[in-house]
Amino acid sequence: MRLMTVACVLLTCLAPIGRPAAAEAQPPNIVFIFSDDHAYQALGAYGSYLKEVVRTPNLDKLAADGMLFKRCMVTNSICGPMRAVIQTGKYSHLNGFIRNGNRFNGNQPTFPKLLQQAGYQTAVIGKWHLGEHQAPQGYHYSEVLIGQGPYYNPPMLKDANGTGDNKQRSKEKHHGYTTDIITDLTLDWLDNGRDKSKPFMLMTQHKAPHREWSPKPEVYETWKGVVIPEPKTLFEDYGDHGPRADQEMTLAKHFSRGYDDKTRNFAPGNLTDKQKAAYRAMFAEENAAFEQALPNMSEEERVRWVHQRYLKIYLASIQSVDENVGRVLKYLEDNGLADNTIVIYSSDQGFYLGEHGWYDKRWAYEESLRTPMIVRWPGVVEPGSVNGDIVSPLDFAQTFLDIAGLDQPDDMQGRSLVPVLTGNTPDDWRESHYYHYYEFPSVHQVNRHEAVCTDRYKLIRFYRVDNKKRPGHGMWELIDLKVDPLEQKNFYDDPAYADVKQRLKGELKRLRKKYQVPEADPDVPHGKY
């Protein structure tokens, strides 16, 4: 199937914006910068309650020069599955990677393979998280972290010749801060590794700000004394919210259970003696004060302290990501690549920064359903534009192919964002989004659920509630973001929402059919829908 390609769009839509004729003659380069667990609240351009303390000047500048997406919704809020969705352009149940720990089938069609076949130079550097048993396929060069990877001194698996064969890779040991190292490798490939006569697609993917949050001492030092605003729902009463009450991801009860390094941030185990001394020193004064005060702290005071430490190490980790985004943007500018290079920044999902009293992700609620997305495309995207359409990382693969002027495979399930990027959203653009989370029982004990999400409403179906405290309780939740933007209330049993509920149930069934969702989960049968 041949959808509207970028060439067609350039001819019909972009002339008023004034895209240079010379740039039209060559396919654009693509730089995809990806972080892990970056909450949109923690990016200044999104203007959240944290906007006064967030330090993301380079990402804010990227947004000022491009388009910021307000409603980019993930399909499955967990690291590995979202990466598989981006590679394949297919939902988790079709690409075979529904939860962390699955094995990604690298032999299936992916967008980098198609770009590679069309003459693009391709590379992926940083966090891969789709298993080490097989080298990333479709890339002329890959150098990726093993699993989650550490924040310091990361071993990485390198495939310098793009064989896609695990046996041909070398294990490289690096010394230093992982966020910096990933960017060092990125710039080295841009400078020395690629064939400069060809267009390129580069994925530079950071471990940060995934836990365990381990900032650089010189960065964290600047956060001392800063008071982080608290979300309004930090001390949420879950009341009769069923599955919401039975998870294991609260700051109050679960944050430091077995994870004292997250609360007091003890030094990671793979540091050199010099690194360890510097790392411990940056927390020493704060930790001593905390230990002295702890016996007399109320539970509320302790949670507030934990929240402040959590946000500082998290935001400091993002600050380093932002600095390294700036390094990449500067390289493109200094080397004459900026004008014909599309830069996309996004994350695999959002994150809770104390909202609902939580950390982590997984739920179909706003903070983890939505992920940051910024696109700069000089001469095409209107600088400073803000988009409110429902888009998704599901769309990325087809967007990249459309940018390159390539056919989009019939079995990909998203849509190219090229028309949206030009300010010409099609009349038949989606008005709802399908979400599905599978990883239960597992860490954090967030029950399996699916949801249909619109601009205003969400209908969430918790279809596998095994907790003995509330068997079968709270299976449905209806949210009205206009009336209740903090998502505190369940309107499912409210008679005033009867028509909305039925309409959303119908839409949920329609989306399940559209996306070929099986009646039973691929790994654990749970009965018919």
Residue 93 falls inside a structural domain: yes
Q: Can you give the pTM of this predicted structure?
A: 0.93
Residue 413 falls inside a structural domain: yes
Residue 150 falls inside a structural domain: yes
What average pLDDT does the segment 373-377 reach? 98
Residue 264 falls inside a structural domain: no
Structure tokens at 135: 């080298």
CB < 8 Å & 24+ apart, contacts of 163-172: 163/135, 164/106, 164/134, 164/135, 164/136, 164/137, 164/138, 164/139, 165/135, 166/132, 166/133, 166/134, 166/135, 168/135, 169/135, 172/143
Per-residue model confidence (pLDDT) at position 3: 39
Query: Which pLDDT band holds residue 489 (cuts at 50, 70, 90)?
Result: very high
Query: How far is 418 from 492, CA to CA, in rounded Å?
Result: 37
Which of 131, 19, 5 is CA-nearest to residue 381?
Answer: 19
- Mean pLDDT, the chain, integer: 91
What average pLDDT does the segment 398-408 reach? 96
Which of 354, 429, 332 is CA-nearest to residue 33?
Answer: 332
Query: How far is 340 from 331, CA to CA, in rounded Å?
Result: 13
Q: What is the CATH number of the domain that holds 411?
A: 3.40.720.10
What average pLDDT does the segment 298-308 reach? 95
Query: How far is 40 from 392, CA to CA, in rounded Å?
Result: 14
Per-residue model confidence (pLDDT) at position 244: 87
Residue 28 pLDDT exceeds 60? yes
Query: Which pLDDT band holds residue 2 (cuts at 50, 70, 90)?
Result: very low
What average pLDDT does the segment 432-443 reach? 94
Residue 97 falls inside a structural domain: yes
Residue 464 falls inside a structural domain: no
What average pLDDT does the segment 235-259 reach? 81
Per-residue model confidence (pLDDT) at position 250: 95
Query: Which pLDDT band holds residue 21 (cuts at 50, 70, 90)?
Result: very low
Residue 285 falls inside a structural domain: no
Per-residue model confidence (pLDDT) at position 262: 56
Residue 384 falls inside a structural domain: yes
Which tens digit of pLDDT belongs to each residue from 128-181?
Answer: 999 887 899 999 999 999 999 999 999 999 999 998 888 889 999 999 999 999
Residue 519 pLDDT exceeds 80? yes
Rg (CA), the chain: 23
What total number of domains does the chain contain? 1
Query: Which pLDDT band holds residue 103 (cuts at 50, 70, 90)?
Result: confident
Which tens digit of pLDDT belongs to each residue from 48-98?
Answer: 999 999 999 999 999 999 999 999 999 999 999 999 999 999 999 999 999
Amino acid of residue 151: Y
Residue 23 pLDDT exceeds 70? no
**Minimum mean pLDDT among 426-440, 448-462, 467-481: which range?**
467-481
What average pLDDT does the segment 222-226 reach? 96
Query: Which pLDDT band holds residue 473 (cuts at 50, 70, 90)?
Result: very low
What percentage of the chain reaches a pLDDT higher than 90? Answer: 81
Residue 191 pLDDT exceeds 80? yes
Domain around 142: 6-47+56-206+320-351+358-421
Q: CB under 8 Å to 90, separation ≥6 — which residues?
A: 394, 411, 412, 413
Per-residue model confidence (pLDDT) at position 465: 61
Query: Which pLDDT band holds residue 266 (cuts at 50, 70, 90)?
Result: confident
Residue 468 pLDDT exceeds 90? no
Per-residue model confidence (pLDDT) at position 528: 36
What percentage of the chain reaches a pLDDT higher than 70? Answer: 90
Q: What's the 3-state SS for 393-426? A: HHHHHHHHHHHCCCCCCCCCCCCCCHHHHCCCCC
Query: How far is 28 from 337, CA to CA, in rounded Å?
Result: 10
